[in-house]
Amino acid sequence: MAGERTPGRVWIIWATGVLAYAVAVFHRQSLGVAGIEAGLRLGVGATGLSVIAMLQILVYAGMQIPVGMLVDRLGSKRMLLIGAGVMACGQLLFAVSGGLLEAIGGRVLVGCGDAMTFISVIRLVNIWFPGRHNPLIAQLTGLLGQLGAIASAVPLIQGLHRYGWTPTFLAAAAVGALSLMLVAAALRDSRPAVAPERPQVREAWAEPGTRLGMWTHAATQSSSAAFLLLWGYPFLVEGQGLRPETAGVLLSAMTLAGMVFGPVLGYLAGRHPFHRSRMVLIVIGSTAAAWSTVLLWPGRAPLWLLVALVIVLAWNGPGSMIGFDYARTFNPSARIGVATGIVNGGGFTATMSLIALIGIGLDLRGGTGLSAYRLAFAMQYPIWIIGAVQVLRYRGKARRLIAELSEGLGEVGGADQPAAATRPAQ
């Protein structure tokens, strides 16, 4: 469909979607740098903060498949408009909240609107760009969206310290309203050429490539997402004794490094699709190694080691984007929204579980010192192990499926020729 519009128009459509996604990331991660202030304002401990973040992500993850079906039927623009409006309302409620219930309500609305955003933008990429360019454009989408994470780090920290809770989050709500107006004015959408007669959840789930993508997303994203969404900032400040400004700079550096890694992994995934799972396993292994070094270091880790940790965590996000390339490769366009929802939902379910486990670990140790954080962040190892095993398992199933198809399709033939899309769904 990209040939029906001028290239310039296609890039404007994509840029508008990316901006909407960046604002969604800003909303999503705004709790992460406000964790300490939120605990004091709401009178809750580590488990209470985990519940707030967990419910936000639970709503996000739970809505992925329904949103995927709606995007396939209604198109991206409508879903982006609804999502932007809901997130702005959530930040407004969070700004005026003085108790736990109001805060939970605000974050649930943020999670609800956030759930409508990324899938909608990925659908725009799938519609307007050729298949061979999809891995790179998807990575660029993810990394440019992380500009929202930068805006939720140092600027929000400074806003909270200078202006206080309510003005800072009222400003965040205003950013959401501006995003809504821009999408309404600049985005042009197109519905799928053939809409599915019924939701194709079973068919998407039956494809081993969909589940390979889901476990890829879960095993690679959870550590960095839990770090950015809630526990990274308290870990650096309370556990490692860094100044708040230094912690904010490290979180921003993590995002910037991810923006460098994204195009590299996107290019490699497009050029060497048969080796995507190896890239995923390298991301998982290096993340586990970096965390092991920090957690086993006697006393507080030196600054250079914490910098190394955030640099390694930075390629978790780009690594997780490979999961969406699996979803596209193994599913026809009529159910790409549902398949993307399954992949995204699985990843954020793992993130939600890890956030909860870290909070429980901190409360079990009864404090926020270094030893408590060591126990809490050790909760990541089961997720890495299970994720790696499942990636290997479904990689084998996907390769057996490819072997049944004509030579040159799917992961061997490259991203231009989706394997499972060429045969009827099972």
Q: What is the DSSP string of 28-42?
A: HHTTGGGHHHHHHHH
Token digits of residue 214: 């889901």
> Exposed, middle or buried by CB within 10 Å (0-12, 13-18, 19+), for 6?
exposed
Distances (CA, A) of 102 to 41, 107, 175: 12, 9, 21
Contact 85, 180 (CB under 8 A): yes
Per-residue pLDDT of the chain (426 residues; tens, 9 = 90+): 444 444 677 888 888 999 999 999 989 888 877 777 888 888 877 778 878 888 888 888 888 888 888 887 788 888 999 999 999 999 999 988 888 888 899 999 999 999 999 889 988 887 777 666 777 787 788 778 878 877 777 788 888 888 888 998 999 899 989 989 989 888 876 654 444 555 578 888 888 889 999 999 999 999 998 998 788 988 999 999 999 889 988 988 888 888 888 888 878 877 888 888 999 999 999 999 999 999 999 989 999 999 999 999 998 988 998 898 888 788 877 777 788 888 988 888 898 889 889 988 888 877 778 889 999 999 999 999 999 999 999 998 888 877 766 444 444 343 333 444 443 333
Non-local CB neighbours of 292 within 8 Å, separated by 6+ positions: none
Q: Which residue, 35, 46, 53, is CA-closest to 364?
A: 46
Distance CA 291, CA 377 (A): 8
Question: From start to end of 2-78, where are the E strands?
Answer: none
Contact 39, 48 (CB under 8 A): yes
Token digits of residue 232: 């990274």
The pLDDT value given to residue 186 = 83
Cβ count near 403 (within 10 Å): 10
> Exposed, middle or buried by CB within 10 Å (0-12, 13-18, 19+), for 298?
exposed
Q: Which residue, 13, 205, 176, is CA-closest to 81?
A: 176
Distances (CA, A) of 309 to 216, 289, 301, 354: 20, 9, 10, 18
Distance CA 315, CA 151 (A): 19
Q: Which residue, 75, 74, 78, 106, is CA-closest to 180?
A: 78
Write the single-letter amino acid at 24.
A
Residue with tokens 């998807």: 138
As a whole number of Å, the end-to-end CA separation of the chain is 27
Distance CA 402, CA 356 (A): 38
pTM of structure: 0.71
Q: Which residue, 161, 148, 155, 1, is CA-closest to 87?
A: 148
Contact 238, 365 (CB under 8 A): no
Q: What are phi and psi of 249, to 5 degrees?
A: -65, -40
3-state secondary structure of 90: helix
Q: Which residue, 249, 230, 242, is CA-closest to 370?
A: 242
Distance CA 119, CA 100 (A): 30
Contact 358, 376 (CB under 8 A): yes
Write the single-letter amino acid at 25.
V
Sign of the torsion formed by the C-alpha atoms of 107, 109, 115 and 117: negative
Question: What is the DSSP-derived secondary structure letter of residue 59?
Answer: H
